[in-house]
Amino acid sequence: MNAPLRRPLIAGNWKMYKTIAETQAFFDQISPLIFEVDHCDLVIAAPFTSLRRAVETGEKLGFGISAQDLYWEKEGAYTGEISAAMLREAGCRYTLIGHSERRQFFGERDQTVNRKLQAALAAGLMPIVCVGESLAEREAAQTEAVLQRQLAAGLAGLTEAAFSPIIIAYEPVWAIGTGRTATPEIAQQAHAFIRNQLAGLVSPLAAERCRILYGGSVKPDNISGLMAQPDIDGALVGGASLDAGSFAAIVRYQETR
């Protein structure tokens, strides 16, 4: 059998949760629950202070470790910021970029997403670029226009080769942390639109190969319906990734189909 074109990826975003001790406990607890999982890639985006412990304990279990943000300069007088090279040195393989909480609360813009993306790629990090519309934008029938703008500006200036490590996460803001998941059909519609945009912005082949994750109140009881959609290649999971049992149940989605 041919390998699937896009290997599924399940990523957890811990946001500002989990100390070093809690990070250790999470991996201790999830270890027996994900034994022999090999149908998907696993990623945990930990807070900066827990990254090193996550690398030391999580990588052995097959997790790639991700940062939640970075700054685009290599070094300098940027108090409070972390560079891509620092994340690589800590052992990160991925980084989130443009999460809606960064956009809402910390002034992230499409142009800063683009600068961070270029810096992450230059350092060899695999970026997980988050896009998605707010409730007001959806209700005003602006979803496609917002996604189009976020993708065009966020991915500006990338060659097809540079684009290949990039993962996109579609995260409708109205579904994040609200318990209100997009239906599989609504999510599929947005994912198909994003893939179509990528075909025009990068190339049809790059679009076919790009993994597009869904994020927004993913739980053990809704993951399999989402994963059954042809353009949904995985999930970015916030709240439900904090508990080893619920994250493992999400990772094992194919057993509940």
- Binding stretches for ligand PEP (CB under 6 A): 13, 15, 171, 176-177, 215-218, 236-240
Q: Does the annotation count 99 as an active-site position? A: yes
Whichever of 169 and 202 has its CB closer to ligand PEP, that residue is 169
In the complex, what is the shortest distance from the CB of residue 125 to ligand PEP, in angstroms, rounded to a whole number?
Answer: 18
Amino acid identity of residue 251, one-letter, is: V
What are the structure tokens assigned to 235, written together?
């999930």
In the complex, what is the shortest distance from the CB of residue 91 to ligand PEP, in angstroms, rounded to a whole number?
Answer: 22
Of 38, 61, 55, 135, whose CA–CA distance to 94 is shortest?
A: 55
Tokens 């683009």 -> residue: 114
Q: By Cβ distance, which residue is nearest to ligand PEP?
A: 238
Q: Does the annotation count 139 as an active-site position? A: no
In whole angstroms, what separates CA 183 from the centre of its chain?
19
Catalytic residue among 101, 133, 171, 191: 171
Whichever of 210 and 236 has its CB closer to ligand PEP, that residue is 236
What number of other Cβ atoms are within 10 A of residue 48's Cβ?
15
In the complex, what is the shortest distance from the CB of residue 70 to ligand PEP, in angstroms, rounded to a whole number?
Answer: 17
Of 82, 200, 194, whose CA–CA distance to 146 is shortest?
A: 194
Whichever of 12 and 58 has its CB closer to ligand PEP, that residue is 12
Catalytic residue among 99, 101, 133, 191: 99
Contact 227, 253 (CB under 8 A): yes
Whichever of 58 and 239 has its CB closer to ligand PEP, that residue is 239
In the complex, what is the shortest distance from the CB of residue 171 to ligand PEP, in angstroms, rounded to a whole number?
Answer: 5
* Phi-psi group of 82: left, alpha or beta (phi > 0 → left; psi -120 to 50 → alpha; rest → beta): beta
Q: Going by C-beta distance under 8 Å and a sequence separation of 6 or more, which residues neighbour residue 99?
A: 13, 68, 69, 108, 130, 171
Active-site residues: which are they?
A: 99, 171
